[in-house]
């Protein structure tokens, strides 16, 4: 009986881990972070009174974020081979 409980616990844990991994790599998460980053940079730009091309210049950190999420997959694969 105890073995069955342990197996059930392990299976439930695996489901949670798989769901967490799916969330970490999902486009929904990336888009939410991009939107929040964009809004934060716009607010920051207003606070420091940087009004020159505010909407355009606020895209720079967002583009940086999305490029980093795309390129990190390549880095991770190389790292996994090295391990």
Interatomic CA distance for residues 6 and 26, integer angstroms: 30
- Model-level pTM greater than 0.85? no
Residue 79, CB-side half-sphere exposure with 13 Å CA sphere: 6
| Per-residue pLDDT tens over the stretch 49-71 | 877 788 888 888 888 888 877 77
Answer positive or negative: Cα dihedral of 15, 16, 17, 20: positive
| Per-residue pLDDT tens over the stretch 17-44 | 888 888 888 888 888 888 888 888 888 8
69: left (phi over 0), alpha (psi -120 to 50) or beta: alpha
Tell me what pLDDT residue 13 has.
Answer: 94
């Amino acid at each position: 009986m105890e073995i069955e409980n342990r197996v059930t616990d392990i299976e439930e844990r695996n489901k949670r881990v798989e769901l967490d991994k799916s969330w970490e790599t999902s486009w929904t998460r990336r888009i939410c972070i991009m939107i929040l980053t964009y809004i934060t940079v716009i607010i920051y730009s207003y606070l420091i009174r940087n009004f020159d091309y505010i909407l355009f210049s606020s895209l720079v950190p967002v583009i940086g974020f999305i490029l980093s999420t795309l390129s990190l997959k390549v880095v991770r694969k190389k790292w996994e081979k090295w391990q």
